[in-house]
Amino acid sequence: MAQPAILSVDDDPSVSRAIVRDLRRNYGERYRIVRAQSGDEALAALKEMKLRGDPVAVLLADYRMPGMSGIEFLEQGMDLYPAAKRVLLTAYADTDAAIDAINVVDLDHYLLKPWDPPEEKLYPVLDALLDAWVTSDRKPVTETKVVGHRWSARSSEVREFLARNQLPYRWYMSDEPEGQRLLEAAGADGMRLPVVITCGGQALVEPTDSELAHHVGLATTPASDFYDLVVIGGGPAGLGAAVYGASEGLRTVLVERTATGGQAGQSSRIENYLGFPDGLSGAQLADRARRQVVKFGAEVITTREVVALEVNGSARTVRFADGASLDAHTVILATGVSYRQLSAPGLDEFTGRGVYYGSAVTEAARCSGQDVYIVGGANSAGQAAVYLARGASSVTIVVRARSLDDSMSHYLIQQIRQNPRITVRACSEVIGVEGDDHLERITLRDNTTGRTETVEAQWLFLFIGAAPRTDWLDGVVVRDDHGYVVSGPDLVVDGKRPRGWELERVPHHLETSVPGVFAAGDVRSDSAKRVASAVGEGAMAVMLVHRYLAKP
């Protein structure tokens, strides 16, 4: 393995030479010192090292750089090397910005310039950070190869699965030379795609999510059969519950069907989450939260679908689709919501082949220079529109309502109005799609005039509301008319407690009609449907779990 790297980036040549000189003098025998004079140059070096699998121990970045500030570089650099220690070089006048960066990029330290003498002001800081890095969990990042067809629905699903689970992979087209060489080496004929080649060289032909998770190192089997707390769902509410449950000493396992992050994890940019004034992506939030969950000792189990919940005396039993089960003292339902399916001719046929539910981040690179259509008027649609407009020729938002004002946050509406690439078609809907092997045309109807129009387009992203997907809870817990789980005071109607409730006390605030089973986040009836509130409800549910365990 190559020597771990310490990367320094500063646009001032004299400062850059000085810090590299000091770094080489004290660390040159044990570490590779990499110098860059711009954020773009430093990112290019990081990406090259990432592809080679070289480890990076520390990132040092000057705060004031043209084009890309030190904070912006560290924010992008941490996505490539999340375990690398991050240091910001600042002048005295910029200390407030450095302090703000602690929240934005999880800054480990900031150094005031000049740092002379380095024996007092530089080396002790780096020695402590390097010691922490050496003792941290730094599993080598390996690369999975995915060979598929551009318009293969399953190929798209596999890429999204890997991306949402923060697993690095490289994509190869099956009709390109390198893709054909890989297929030949794997003994695959190219008719059954995708083919996934693991870092160990094992070829998986059309793998299921469960098979894929098993072979790329995700945990799919719980270590025990009994826990204090089972959290079902890995969105913001579930992650918040798992962090607080594990950090407060509860034996906690989080069960997720696909990938942690939920719908929020697919957001290109969340700008109204407290503590992150510059915003962060859903993937960044999910990755940081997942690492917190693991840090406190909770288990994270993926690709396991929960199909039933049972009450067996004081135990609550969670049953999986494969017949296995888990028992626990308490359960938190944090399954969130899924995008509703749009009913229009051709949509099912082209899903994954130009038509996507969510997935804007995964497919964004392929939309460059093209016309994109988005259906939906909530925040997820607005975030996708702003993100895709960076590279797309045009982005059209199609909504049935007269405007976005009643369904989207004000800050997003303002960004959309100020972006010349984004157009909003109000009082309209998609009534059909057409194409050969992929989407080529979309038919739109103006509901005010009744006129229809067919437009040329290869990309259609759907964000059309939410469905709780709680059919598996039918007859177990009380749900409202839309399938959302009713909890707390809402269960008591006209002074009457829910049917089957035998305890003297009334249900706790987030407790369902089954004692010891709680609901948090979007799956709960009348929830706020915001990331911050979901995280808060996850934490609050753990507090109520403790109350239940103390006195059921």
CATH number at residue 543: 3.50.50.60
Quick one: 236 and 184 in the same domain? Answer: no
The model's pTM: 0.76
- Domain limits for position 167: 144-215
Q: Domain ends where: 111, 135, 159? A: 135
My answer on whether 27 and 125 are in the same domain is yes
The closest of 528, 497, 531 to 515, measured between CA atoms, is 497
| pLDDT for the residue 141 | 45
Alpha-carbon dihedral of residues 263, 265, 270, 272, nearest 10 degrees? 70
Supply the pLDDT for residue 105.
Answer: 67
**113 and 184 fall within a common domain:** no
Q: What is the bridge-based pairing of β-strands 203-205 and 195-197?
A: antiparallel
- Give the separation between CA 220 and CA 201, rounded to whole angstroms: 21
Same domain, 255 and 195: no
Q: What distance in Å separates the CA atoms of residue 264 and residue 535, rounded to the nearest whole number?
A: 11
Beta strand 144-148 pairing with 195-197? antiparallel
Owner of token pair 């093209």: 370
Q: Which two tokens stand for residue 85?
A: 């220690």
Q: Which residues sit opposite 452 in a β-bridge? A: 445
Helix residue spans in 296-398 (DSSP H): 347-350, 360-363, 379-388
Residue 10 placed within a domain: yes
Whether residue 185 is found in the same domain as residue 80:
no
Domain identity same for 30 and 127: yes
CA distances from 56 to 53, 165, 551 (A): 9, 21, 50
Q: Are residues 474 and 459 in the same domain?
A: no
User: Where would I find the beta strands (DSSP E) of 154-275?
Assistant: 169-173, 195-197, 203-205, 226-232, 252-255
pLDDT at 420: 96
Does 507 sit behind a cis peptide bond, omega within 30 degrees of 0 on the bond before it? Answer: no
Residue ending a domain, among 164, 186, 215, is 215
What pLDDT, on a 0 to 100 scale, did the predictor assign at position 96?
A: 67
d(CA 334, CA 349): 31
Domain boundary among 135, 157, 174: 135
pLDDT of residue 269: 82
The total of other beta-carbon atoms located within 10 Å of residue 94's CB is 20
Find out whether 428 and 447 touch, Cβ atoms under 8 Å. Answer: yes
Verify that 309 and 357 share a domain, yes or no: no
Per-residue pLDDT of the chain (552 residues; tens, 9 = 90+): 578 999 999 999 998 999 999 999 999 999 999 999 999 999 999 888 875 768 999 999 998 888 888 888 998 888 778 889 999 888 765 666 666 666 666 788 888 877 888 998 899 999 999 999 998 766 554 578 899 998 888 999 999 899 889 888 889 999 998 888 888 888 888 889 999 988 877 889 999 999 999 998 899 999 999 999 999 999 999 999 999 999 999 999 999 999 999 888 888 788 888 888 878 888 889 999 999 999 999 999 999 999 999 999 999 999 999 999 999 999 999 999 988 888 899 999 999 999 998 877 778 888 989 999 999 999 999 999 999 999 999 999 999 999 999 899 999 999 999 999 999 999 999 999 999 989 999 999 999 999 999 999 999 999 987 789 999 999 999 999 999 999 999 999 988 888 889 899 999 999 999 999 999 999 999 999 889 999 999 999 999 999 999 998
Kindly state whether residues 492 and 509 are assigned to the same domain: yes
Split into its structural domains, the chain has a count of 4
Is 442 within 8 Å of 455 (Cβ atoms)? yes
Distance (Å, whole) CA 384 – CA 395:
10
Whichever domain contains 187, its CATH number is 3.40.30.10
Q: Which two tokens stand for residue 93?
A: 């006048």
305, burial (CB in 10 Å: exposed 0-12, middle 13-18, buried 19+): middle
Kindly report the CATH number assigned to the domain that includes residue 102: 3.40.50.2300
**Are 384 and 410 in a shared domain?**
yes
CA distance 51 to 408: 39
> Any idea how long the chain is?
552
Structure tokens at 259: 């990938």
Q: Is residue 221 part of a domain?
A: no
